[in-house]
Structure 1
Amino acid sequence: MEKKKFRKKPVVIEAYQTNKEMVIHTLEGNHHASVGDWIITGVNGEQYPCKPDIFAKTYEPVE
């Protein structure tokens, strides 16, 4: 099977950085978010946490 490369489509998301520990109810179950994690709202309204280093590598601000 040949592997192919893909790029994420440029989708604008909403996110905020949490200042408290919290549990996020995701489509895959409950996930723990730590202080400083980003809480992302996906294209279908679902929410999930993202660690700051991964967020910085994946997303950039929209002007």
Structure 2
Amino acid sequence: MKKFLLDKTPKLDFKKALKKPIPIKCIQIDEPFQVESIEGLVTGKAGDWLMIGINGEKYICDNAIFHKTYDIID
């Protein structure tokens, strides 16, 4: 079994990929909250985002990560 370590990039022939621009539903929640997700019950902080994915799955996105990876569309 191959093992990949956290602090070492393996010498493999990596390809580049771009995430598809698939719209999802999201809302910023202004108080601590819990969501039943596919990973089980998870807790979000005030300011985190409740996301609903393309298959209806619910998950939480940290506010700082949200702003680095998503743009709100109208």
Q: Mark yes or no: TM-score above 0.5.
A: yes
Partner SS, residue 31 of structure 1: strand
Partner of 1:52: 63
Misfit runs of 4+, over 4 Å: none
Report the TM-score when normalising by structure 1. 0.90
The gaps in structure 2 that reach 5 residues or longer are 1-11
The gaps in structure 1 that reach 5 residues or longer are none
| Higher-Rg member (1/2) | 2
- The answer to which structure has the higher strand fraction is 1
Report the TM-score when normalising by structure 2. 0.78
Number of residue pairs matched?
A: 63
Greater relative CO (CA pairs within 8 A, separation 6+) = 1
Identity %: 37
User: What is the root-mean-square deviation in Å for CA atoms of aligned residues?
Assistant: 1.0
Partner SS, residue 17 of structure 2: coil
Partner SS, residue 13 of structure 2: coil
